[in-house]
Structure formats: structure tokens, C-alpha cells
A and B are shown apart, each in its own frame.
Chain A
Amino acid sequence: MRNTYLKELYAIAKEDKNVLSLVSDNGMIVYDEFRRELPEQYFNFGISEGHMVTAAAGMASCGKIPFAYTIGSFLAYRAYEFIRLDVCLQKLNVKIVGIGAGVTYGYLGPTHHSTEDIAVLRCIPNLTLLSPATPKETKRLVHFAYELNGPVYIRLGNNLPKELYQPEQEVVPGKISRLREGDDLAVFATGEIVYQVMEAAQLLHQQGIEAAVFSVHTLKPLNEMELLKLAKPFRLLCSVEEHSIIGGLGGLIAEALTANGCCKRLVRIGLRDCFAHGYGTPSQVLTTNQLDAAGIYAQILAEYK
């Protein structure tokens, strides 16, 4: 997704000189083409995330469209007040791009994990929250962010090249995508963990259980009416996220359901009020935290029975 993001941003910036690429000392190789071809539109702000975000807001007040990119945990937590006051309160056209969604930085541990970012960012007014799972979603949502005049946070994970969408299936910003049909239960997921969910659904299938899988790529604004409609046929709903179960996808689905008088059972699968345990590759950390396909399968199966 990171590579897809950079490829699309480069294409957009090449056509629109007001689009600026800001980084906070990262992207050594992946940004090479951008730096070489569009040096006037590239700024490395050094290791100063809050400053980068606010300088981006200043640029946006002059008509620029800055995409400020660095590790999501350093944006959502360290630069929080700068996002809140300088970008969102002033409704400025800044795109905040956090890489390393969830436990992508598995070797480095919780300092680099973005596992509470949805919770803390989604309560800031005026901020659109996008969380693509696949290259197709990333491509569409980067363009959507560019076209939208206002603050956007894009939550990016690793670089999984496999596409989960059918060739003819479109990504519609603001809607929820159905990636797998099923009649027995519905699983809503966001970001790259959708890949694990698709595998878990396959494991459930082997047990004769058919799970419908939905990718919630637009976390805010959440299309509540569509969510209710999609949830209606199922007796059991699950949310799966590489994030705390508090305040993230599970939280926002629960809020939408209860606010609309829907009292279906919702199983929230994610980090249970803890920092992710262990180190290793992202998949190893997912396994340690029961968030790989086998762990998700086991948790859903236990609830289904």
C-alpha cells in the first residue's frame, strides 16, 4: 500500500504543482523518484512531526495541498494537538499520512505501533479517516483525499501486492466494500488485516460456516445506513482490526448499531486494552496477539458456536 500511495501521489503531484510531499525523515528509497523528479515539491522536515503538521497547515492556508507523511504513531500521538488545532480546527486542506498501521513495525514494538490511532483521531471534528486494505483501495482513496478539500488522515499498512477486489469491483469512497459472500455471519474489517480475515473466512468455510467479509475503508464519515443494511441479514457480527478494540472499528460499529436501535451481537476482535505483545515480523506479531488468520478463525468459531 505504501508503494501504491507513493506512485499515486507522484502522479498527482506531477500534474498539480500545488501538491507538496512532506516527510519527517523517512522514505529513503521509496521517495527517490519523487525527490529526483519533483524536488521543489518535496520537503524533509527532519524529525519534528508536530512542526511538519503545522507547517503543512500554513502551506495549506496559502492554497498548497500538502501530504505530510511519516510513521503513524508519531503523527497520531506526538503531533495530536497540531493535527487538532492547526489542521482540523482551521479546516485546512492537509493530508496526514501515517505509515505502519497496526503492528507493521513488528520488530520495533509498541513505540512504533499505530494501535490506538483510529480511536484518538476519529473524535476530532472535520477529519476524514481513510484506512485502505488493498492496492485498489489505496489508489482510489489517495485520489479521493486529493479531491476532497479538507483535512484527511490516511492510515497505511505494509506492501501487500495481492488484490482482494474482483477486477470489475469498484472502490467507492464513503461506502463499505463486500469482499466475500456468506450467509452465516458478517465480518467487518479495516486495513490490511482484511487479508487475515479472508483467510480466516476460508478456514470457517472448511467447517461449513460461511462468513461475509466487508472492508470498511472509510472510517469517517462512516456510512451508518449502509452498515445497518449490510448487517441486517446476520445474527452475528464481528469486527476485526489491527487496533485496540476500544474506540476503533468495533467501537464505531457498536455506536452506529446502538444509536439506530439495532441490538445484534457484535464480537470485537483486536487488541484487548493492551499494547501488542511480542516482536518479530508483522505476521509473527499478529500471531502472538491472536490476530492472524488462525487466531481470528478461532475467536470467531468460539463465538459462533
Chain B
Amino acid sequence: MLEQIAKEIRKEIMITAYHGKSGHLASALSAVEIMTALYFGDVLKYDASNPNWSERDKLIVSKGHASLVLYCILNRIGYLTKEALYTFCQPGSVLGGEPKYGDVPGVEATTGSLGHGLSFAVGIAIANQLDQKDSRVYVLLGDGECQEGSVWEAALSAAHHALDNLTVILDRNQLQAMGDTEDILGLESLKEKWQGFGWDVTSVDGHDLNALVQTLQADRSSKKKGPRIILADTIKGKGISFMEQVPIWHYRMPNESELALVKAELGITEKELLA
């Protein structure tokens, strides 16, 4: 069931990007299972008929350039129509390459400039504590994003305030725009760094839906004090063979022959593509 949803979201990401002639495909594909598990694996608490439900959990996509996966999920749960989804990145659309708060139901923060989302989430988590809400806040963080100093300011702050209503899922695909994170500005050991900052750290295969759901549900019911981070090992461009772990696909659209391959691999028909 979840596998089927993930498969359909992958297709939808490509079709949406095709309509917009834009998008960070590989970054979105990297997080498909993480997002599927959150939204459809009985993890994130939300009301499909009311995006503003006051008791909802919130997800901040801090790596805002992965907006395609978020928009496709918001379409699937009914916050966005298909017609709206396919206006992605076009004049008059509310769906930009980076998600904008206030314009799109289900987008909980404007992101795009890296290193902002976690601080924003810290503010939400503190507000939820003050209001004695049971709601959680989740952050999808990029690994390259961890090169921003502000991420670590927020990490210190979340631990200091013992925010056990905050969970980060780190999309650890090892790549950033120009290449391997460890060649550009080494991040390892991420586990020790986050532990050293006072976070509870677990690791998971970021494409194994069963493992993701299990980990996220365990996190949700955990009584551990302080913030948690789940290091999810992922593959950038997952699902399209020639994009997987190839840096150039950070921000590039397939040409005609490449598109034919994508269609074949994801099972997209011509009719679906031109819908």
C-alpha cells in the first residue's frame, strides 16, 4: 500500500516538474519514502478536510527546493487540486520552486534559503509547549544544509529547551549541488555531532518504508526527553537510474531522450504526462 503511494508520488513529481519545466527533481525523489511514511504511515497528525486544524502536527520542509514532493503529497491528501499542482512554477501559480507560507494550505513555513527551517520549528515547538499542545513539529532537513551555521544555533537551542515535541529527519543522500558533501565540506560524523549537541539520534534506511514507519511511530510514542533526529540514508534521484547519486541532476530537467527513459522507469504514460 505505502509502496504503491510512493510509486505514484514519484510519477507525480516528474509529471508536475514537466508541467513547470523546472524543479529540483533529484532532491525531491530522495525524500519520497520519508514523506510517504510521515503522511500516510499514521505518523503525522492532520485533518484532510481542514489544513488549519489547530491541533495538527506541522512539517517544515527546510530543504525547500524539495517542494515537488511536498506539493504532490498535499495534492494527494486534498489540500491542492491537480489543476493547481500542474501550475507549478508558472506565472500566476502559488506553487513556486520554494514553498511559501500563507499561499498554500499545508505549507507551514516559507523555506528556500537553507538553514532557516529548524529555527522556525524551534519557535513552533516552544509555542506548542506553552499552549500545552500534544502536537509535534517535524523538520525535513537536508544534509548539505547542515553546513549552515544557523542549523547548529537551532540545534543548541532545541536541546537547551528540551524540545521533545520536535523531530528532525535528515535526508542524508551524501550529495549537495556540486558533489559529495564529504569532498566539499565534510559533515561526518553526523551522528556524533548531533549527539554532542544533546539530541537523541537514530538511523534508518530512508527508502525502506516499513523501517521508516516503525522508526517514526516509535519516535512519536517515545517518552525520551529532548529533541530527536532520525538520520535517513537516502539516494539522491532515487527511482530514476541515471539520476541516482549523479550531482548534475541537482537542478536539471531531462531532455527528450532522457524523458523517454524516465517515463519507462517510472511507468508514466504519454496521457499522464500531458494531463
**Separation of A62 and B126 alpha carbons in the complex (Å):** 10
The DSSP consensus for interface residues of chain B is helix
1/0 contact string of B93-127 vs chain A (CB within 8 Å): 00000001110000011101100100111111111
Known: A58-B121, A85-B113, A86-B120. A50 touches B127 (CB 8 A): no
User: Which residues of chain B from 13 to 33 have a CB within 8 Å of any chain A CB?
Assistant: none
Residues of A within 8 A of B127 (CB): 58-59, 61-64
Q: Which of A41-49, A131-139, A159-167, A177-185 contacts B (4 or more CB under 8 A)?
A: A41-49
Q: Does B83 reach chain A (CB closer than 8 Å)? A: no
Cβ-defined contact, B130 with A55, below 8 A: no
Do B150 and A51 touch across chains, with their CB atoms under 8 A apart?
yes
Most chain-A Cβ atoms within 10 A of its Cβ — which of B100, B125, B127, B150?
B127
Q: Which of B3-11, B152-160, B177-185 lies at the interface?
A: B152-160
A57-B120 in contact (CB<8A) = yes
Q: Is A57 within 8 A of B102, CB to CB?
A: no
Which one, B100, B120, B153, contacts A58 given CB within 8 A? Answer: B120
Give CA–CA (A90, B117) in the complex, Å: 13
Residues from chain B with a CB closer than 8 A to the CB of A48 are 153, 156-157
CB contact under 8 A between A55 and B128, given known A48-B156, A50-B153, A81-B113: no
Bound CA–CA A45/B154 (angstroms): 10
Give the number of A-B contacts (CB < 8 Å).
Answer: 87
| CB nearest to B129 among chain A residues | A40
Cβ contact within 8 Å between A61 and B113? no
Which residue from chain A places its CB closest to the CB of B121 in the assembled complex?
A: A58
Measured CB to CB, the nearest residue on chain B to A40 is: B130
Instruction: Establish whether residues A62 and B119, one from each chain, have CB atoms under 8 Å apart when the complex forms.
Output: no
Q: Is A74 an interface residue (CB 8 A)?
A: no
B122–A55 touching, CB < 8 Å: yes
| Cα(A93)–Cα(B119), bound, Å | 16
- Which residues of chain A are near B101, meaning CB under 8 Å? 61, 90
Cα–Cα distance between A59 and B126 once the two chains are bound (Å) = 7
For the complex, is A56 an interface residue (Cβ under 8 Å from B)?
yes
Instruction: State whether B124 touches A59 (Cβ < 8 A).
Output: yes
Residue of A nearest to B154 (CB): A51
Identify which of B100, B153, B156 gathers the most chain A CB atoms within 10 Å of its CB: B153
- How many residues of A are in contact with the other chain, CB < 8 A? 26
Could you tell me if B123 and A50 are in contact, using CB atoms closer than 8 angstroms? Answer: no
Is B126's CB under 8 angstroms from A55's CB? Answer: yes
Contact mask for chain B residues 140-158; partner A; CB cutoff 8 A; 1 contact, 0 none: 0000000000100110110
B119 & A51 in contact (Cβ 8 Å cutoff) = yes
Separation of A43 and B130 alpha carbons in the complex (Å): 12
- Given the known inter-chain contacts A50-B119, A61-B101, A82-B119, please indicate yes or no for A55 contacting B108, CB distance below 8 A: no
The listed residue (B119, B124, B131, B154) touching A61 by CB distance below 8 A is B124
Q: Closest CB-CB distance, B155 to chain A, in whole Å? A: 10
Closest chain-B Cβ to A281's Cβ sits at a distance in Å of: 33
User: For the complex, what is the distance from the CA of A48 to the CA of B149, rounded to whole Å?
Assistant: 10
Would you call A58 and B157 a contact (CB within 8 A)?
no
Q: Cβ of B110: which chain A residues have Cβ within 8 Å of it?
A: 85-86, 89-90
Q: Which residue of A lies closest to B133 (CB)?
A: A62
Contact A51 B102 (CB under 8 A): no
A54 within 8 A of B: yes
For the complex of A and B, the 10 pairs showing the least CB-CB separation, nearest first, are A58-B123, A62-B127, A54-B119, A55-B123, A51-B153, A48-B153, A58-B120, A59-B123, A58-B124, A51-B119
Supply 13 A–B pairs (Cβ within 8 Å), ascending by A. Answer: A43-B126, A51-B154, A54-B123, A55-B120, A55-B123, A55-B154, A57-B123, A59-B126, A60-B123, A61-B101, A61-B120, A62-B127, A90-B101
